[in-house]
Amino acid sequence: MNISITRQNLGDKSKQWLDQIAPVNTHKWKLDKDSTALMVIDMQRFFVEPGSPLSLEHGNVIIPTVKKLIDGFRSAGFPVIYTRHVHHADGSDAGNLGWWWDGMIIEGSPESEINAELAPLPGEKVIFKHRYSSFLNTDLETVLRGKNIKDVVITGVMTNLCCETTARDAFMRDYRVTFLADATGAATEEMHLATLTNLAFGFARVALADDVLREIKK
């Protein structure tokens, strides 16, 4: 799909979105420096690389911002947790997603890998999931509880599908959710802005990557 967001205008666009949602983006807090994790959701070749089966332009646009966040969290000693959305080749784990969407990300395929610029380091947790939510039928909550995480910072794709569903599920499990306007990507700007508005109203603090990076500096 055509989208009007580029790496050059992402900063200005993100500030405009925050201005538009300001009336509902009213819950403010500082990240807990002892219990914060970064979630990098589905930044896989399938979604973010030109020429891929579902090349998401906005997903490609946010790669430098997500990389800056990953580097910042690693330097500060905070956990970085990745997700990869995958399915068996026979579709046996696809459920409703199998008929809703054309094409699947097949587990083990090159397209299922995380973009090389953002690749996890050895020892960093990668959650393999089969639905929009990163919590459904995965060990994500066990990992978060084991690390005593209270704050989750959400980046990745798609804003209005896996990122939003994960944010809602995290809130309902009593995590504080920070959702990044300039480090999540959707198929259209309208979908992106709708999610930012809805999450700010009921589920998350919507912020910018630089705000978060300032907060985690020790």
How many angstroms separate the first and last alpha carbons of the chain?
41
Cβ atoms 82, 40 nearer than 8 A: yes
Which residues have C-beta within 8 Å of that of residue 142, sequence separation ≥ 6? none
Q: How far is CA 126 from CA 26, 54, 136, 181, in A?
A: 32, 21, 14, 23
* Given the residues 42, 151, 169, 182, the one annotated as active site: 42
Cis, bond preceding 104 (omega within 30 deg of 0): no
d(CA 131, CA 95): 9
d(CA 15, CA 69): 18
* Given the residues 13, 125, 151, 162, the one annotated as active site: 162
Active site residue 129: yes
* Given the residues 13, 129, 163, 169, the one annotated as active site: 129
Q: Which of 137, 136, 126 is nearest to 40 (CA)?
A: 126
Question: Active-site residues: which are they?
Answer: 42, 129, 162
